[in-house]
Amino acid sequence: MTDRANVLLVILDSVRAENTSLHGYERETTPFLEGFADRATWYRQARAPGIHSIASHVSMFTGAHVEEHRALHHTAQIDLEETVWRDLAAEGYATGLFTNNRIVSNASNLGEAFDHLYTPEYSLAKRLENTLGNPLVERTYFRIADTTARVSEGIQSGPAPLRAAASAAGSAADWIGGLTGGDDDGDGDGSDDGAGGFKTEYGGTFTDAFLEWEDQQDGPWAACINLMDAHSPYEPEPEFDKWGSEADREAQDSGMPSVRETLADRGWDRLAALEPLYDGTIRQADAVVRELIADLERRGALSETLVIVTSDHGEAFGEASRVDPDLRLREHKWGIHEVLTHVPLVVQYPGQETGRTVDEVVSLTDIPAVATDLDAAVGVEGGDASEDRDPFVTGGPVLASTFRLPESKVAKYRSVDGVERFVGPWRAVYETREDAVRTFASRGEDHVTADVEFNGDATVVSRDRHDRVTGAYGRLEASDVVTEETTEIDDDLEDQLEHLGYIR
């Protein structure tokens, strides 16, 4: 059974460890994960490999560090044979992806690594298809919206006649954006950082689809479920909206501060007002996982399944960067702070019944190795193996990095003083100390060494220049994971991604 156990990876998109009651947060956001950890393995110091979806997912799917695979753009095309899903398929596994993260399923080619792909239909696309029966019309529709927005952006700083043309183009983009369920927020990136028209469906939609698929399998299976409940905009269902006030909801409805505002150090109070709503979305995602695990247990499949529950990155609500204390962080746009990289990781190995807690810092890049070598996994024989056999504690480097804000965006935000300070790469190296994780981080000429205690308290040890980052990253070798970095997105993807607040 051990070499044919099922594999289930559940990614709680945008959930940071700091806001989970699993990690001691004052609000009870993850009551299920707390109980689940009592019979699983809880890695208290897990680090995501990057701070945005495409980079982290490619690392979790291939085992390569971000700066080895360099999948930095939403449209990255990768060698699918490098993924754990193709490895498992070669061993006779049925594979499935259940997601509303369109960066994973459509903008990139990651969804093609699976035999089965479940994504929802969007009402506008469905309406156009049913009414017109012509996919070309749909593609043209969204490309017009994208083009008008980009024309408007490109000539805003030109002479008066061009600015007038930009205004007209922007009005056209707004009209089309209104039809698609969103509106430009004024920052020039085409995004509606408030209640966008393409927010995820409730996560139970995807777990239900998975369970229906699982019921049809007569052999081992390997699946990934990506739950976007906690991704912005933060819109918890009423039963999970336990901490948001009417003022918080009004702040959400009025829209997040634009990227340009926060780059210019404004609008942080409006962003901070959204954290209680974010907490409600985490509670919602936790409830979805609770029902999923209960269903697998009722079916008798849980004991035969490697279950990994984690996140691809965290979120920031105005925390100061430790690398540059004069710079603040928002969502998962830039920086390398623990609110962005420290993520929950709870793993139940096949047959595990006894809970374990692991304090060593670990990397999500080891997920493929764990999934393909279950014989070496703790818990395969009932959860009583010693910690030196833990498959996540490899002794390898634990790294996190991002090139966001991209260098290409400097010209776009050139009116913001000091915008260059936000440009990546931001890099971090993590080491386990007795009661803390020592973090070595840098961006450009700025360096910091900090100890992050297991209770979350952090102490800056030094701001002196160090060579830990350059040394660790200098040993990395480029891989052939990425085969192409396309620059165009077909159909409605660009519009949908921008309405979810992504920066391209």
pLDDT digits (tens, 9 = 90+) for 436-490: 999 999 999 999 999 999 878 899 999 999 999 999 999 999 999 999 876 555 5
Q: Which residue, among 381, 392, 382, has the nearest Cα to 359 in the 3D structure?
A: 392
Band (pLDDT 50/70/90 cuts) for residue 3 is: low
Domain-by-domain residue ranges, the chain? 2-122+198-246+261-395, 126-180
pLDDT value of position 189: 34
The predicted model gives 158-164 an average pLDDT of 52
Band (pLDDT 50/70/90 cuts) for residue 201 is: confident
Angle at 50 (CA atoms; ends 100, 73), nearest 5 degrees = 65
> Which has more confidence, 160 or 467?
467
- E strand map for 305-457: 305-310, 317-320, 328-330, 342-343, 345-348, 356-358, 362-363, 398-402, 426-432, 436-443, 446-453
> Which has more confidence, 503 or 375?
375
Band (pLDDT 50/70/90 cuts) for residue 199 is: low
Tell the burial category of 204 from Cβ atoms under 10 Å away from its Cβ (0-12, 13-18, 19+): middle
Query: Among 304-313, 368-377, 479-488, 492-501, which stretch is predicted with the lowest mean pLDDT?
Result: 492-501
* Whole-prediction pTM: 0.84
User: SS3 sequence, 111-169?
Assistant: HHHCCEEECCCCHHHHHHHHHHCCHHHHHHHHHHHHHHHHHHHHCCCCCHHHHHHHHHH
How far from 115 is each of 61, 85, 98, 99, 386, CA to CA, in Å?
Answer: 15, 9, 11, 14, 36
Structure tokens at 138: 């749909």
Over the chain, what is the mean pLDDT? Answer: 84
Q: Percent of the chain having pLDDT more than 70?
A: 77
pLDDT value of position 305: 97
DSSP category for residue 303: G
Band (pLDDT 50/70/90 cuts) for residue 4 is: confident
**pLDDT at 142 exceeding the cut of 70:** no
pLDDT value of position 484: 82
**pLDDT at 290 exceeding the cut of 50:** yes
pLDDT value of position 120: 83
262 close to 271: Cβ distance less than 8 angstroms: yes
Q: Which residues pair with 320 in a beta bridge?
A: 328
176 close to 240: Cβ distance less than 8 angstroms: no
Query: Among 158-172, 369-383, 398-412, which stretch is predicted with the lowest mean pLDDT?
Result: 158-172
343 close to 313: Cβ distance less than 8 angstroms: yes
> Which has more confidence, 383 or 299?
299
**pLDDT at 122 exceeding the cut of 70:** no
The predicted model gives 131-143 an average pLDDT of 38
Structure tokens at 18: 């700091």
pLDDT value of position 319: 97
pLDDT digits (tens, 9 = 90+) for 68-113: 999 999 899 999 999 999 999 999 999 999 999 989 988 899 999 9
pLDDT value of position 29: 98
**pLDDT at 165 exceeding the cut of 90:** no
Q: Which residue, among 315, 341, 324, 333, has the nearest Cα to 399 in the 3D structure?
A: 341
d(CA 158, CA 155): 5
> Which has more confidence, 148 or 71?
71
pLDDT value of position 488: 59
User: SS3 sequence, 185-209?
Assistant: CCCCCCCCCCCCCCCCCCCHHHHHH
Helix axis angle for 275-298 and 246-254, nearest 10°, is 100
**pLDDT at 195 exceeding the cut of 50:** no
Superfamily designation of domain 2-122+198-246+261-395: Alkaline Phosphatase, subunit A (3.40.720.10)
Q: Which residue, among 13, 7, 5, has the nearest Cα to 310 in the 3D structure?
A: 13
d(CA 403, CA 411): 16
Structure tokens at 189: 């990136």
**pLDDT at 181 exceeding the cut of 50:** no
Band (pLDDT 50/70/90 cuts) for residue 377 is: low
**pLDDT at 150 exceeding the cut of 80:** no
Element (H, E) at 504: none
The predicted model gives 2-12 an average pLDDT of 87
Band (pLDDT 50/70/90 cuts) for residue 160 is: low
Helix (DSSP H) and strand (DSSP E) numbers for the chain: 17, 20
143 close to 171: Cβ distance less than 8 angstroms: no
Structure tokens at 229: 């409940």
**pLDDT at 303 exceeding the cut of 60:** yes
pLDDT value of position 374: 76
**pLDDT at 131 exceeding the cut of 50:** no
pLDDT value of position 172: 44
d(CA 448, CA 439): 8
pLDDT value of position 493: 55
**pLDDT at 141 exceeding the cut of 90:** no
d(CA 212, CA 295): 11
For strands 317-320 and 328-330, give the pairing: antiparallel
57 close to 381: Cβ distance less than 8 angstroms: no
